[in-house]
Amino acid sequence: MIRIALKMLFGDRGKYVMLISGITFATLLMAQGMSLFCGLMSWTYSTMRNVNVPIWVADPKVEQCNDNKPMRDTDTTRVRSVDGVAWAVPLYQGISMARLADGASKMITLIGLDNNTLIGAPTRIIAGRLEDLRMPNTVILDDFGVERLSAGRACPIRVGDVFEINDREARIVAICQSYRSFTGGPYVFTTYDRAVQYAPNQRKMLSFILAAPQPGLTDQEVAQRIAAGTGLAAFTQHEFMWSTILWYIKNTGIPINVGTIVIIGFFIGAAISGQTFYSFVLENTRHFAALRAMGASSGTLCAMLLAQAVLVGFIGYGIGLGLVSVLGNNLLRLGKVPFLMLWQITAVVGGAVLVIVALSALIGILRIARLEPAIVFR
């Protein structure tokens, strides 16, 4: 009977296409919205992904890694003296303006690394040498920075070229790959002391203290000891990532905007496929009644409707996910939009599609359940 059910559905090409489009559309909107959300969220903690150390120490009021409430330089020493800390180094993070040869300005995220150890330096160098950062007035630019700062030049900016940060010379000694920042500016890495010179003068410049536990101790234990011993906020990398993501969820309109897209996707999909399926069932009422009169049980008719709905859901979901990944990959290639399709997203969207499909089938089943087989004689 399932075969007969599917043939009934395939035969009605208009409805069949309509049903699949409804599910495809719902899948597309929901998966796209959620991937956008996850992508945006992954951008919020890019500084942490780029620097990548076990423990982050910050001013007690700091909740997320793009916040800047500077501490005193002496705080680094206080953290070092906490029992169980293997090392602790300063990190500067701030927004600055880079000025190009033609006078145009671009926003950058400036990172100042510990002068001696360069802890937190980029690991994926694609041109030049990290060690050259010890030479005067030098910086490392990320590949996105190359794209940004090259705008309007005859040939792209490269190692050895010079630009200005707040009127001071910055010579590029290496190009690296990095994760895109939430603010949208490229990353520029330099040493802590030089970053302090580049940055507009403030009394305190220390954004974060990076630390690591001694062997045998967990990140969490040592973070707790630092917090207790210094009164500063200390997070493991994992805690700080979630703290950052939650901060953006609580304090920005992103979840509402994305949530709206996802909910609209769900309801439009449910409306299109529910409505189309219902009219499919209505048009076939006579045939379902005839099957009932010929002795098909209610269970069989329900199974037929479910099979029809599930098949449509499956195809629509597949096409939808395919479209999302093609679209997402193109967006990623353009580099303008965040996009991160986790497997959890495909599972959640799959679940939502199943709900839509089950609802559609249920509408049909309720219709068929009220069916008097005697109507076939009318």
- Judge whether 187 and 43 are in contact, CB under 8 Å: no
Q: Which of the ranges 10-18, 40-48, 50-58, 102-110 carries the binding residues for other proteins, by CB under 8 A?
A: 10-18
Nearest to 49 by CA among 336, 340, 345, 347: 340
d(CA 311, CA 124): 46
- Residue from 1, 104, 151, 162 touching other proteins (CB under 8 A): that is 1
Nearer to other proteins, 83 or 283 (CB): 283
Name which of residues 237 to 276 contact other proteins (CB under 8 A): none
Q: How far is the CB of 368 from other proteins (least distance, A)?
A: 13
Stretch that binds other proteins, among 9-17, 189-197, 229-237, 353-361 (CB under 8 A): 9-17
Segment lying near other proteins (by CB under 8 A), choices 100-108, 150-158, 257-265, 287-295? 287-295
The SS3 call for residue 339 is coil
Binding of other proteins at residue 303 (CB under 8 A)? no
Min dist CB 377 to other proteins, Å, is 5
Whole-number Å distance between alpha carbons of 374 and 378: 7
Nearest approach, Cβ of residue 358 and other proteins (Å): 24
295, 333, 343, 370: which one binds other proteins (CB under 8 A): 295
Output the smallest distance, CB 311 to other proteins, in A.
15
Nearer to other proteins among residue 9 and residue 79 (C-beta): 9
- Single-letter amino acid, residue 322: G
> How many Å apart are CA 42 and CA 49, to the nearest integer?
9
E-strand ranges in 177-230 read: 187-191, 208-213
Window of 3-11, 221-229, 332-340, 360-368 that interacts with other proteins by CB under 8 A: 3-11
* b/e per residue 285-294 (b: at least 16 CB within 10 A): eeebbebbee
The C-alpha R_g of the chain, in whole angstroms, comes to 29
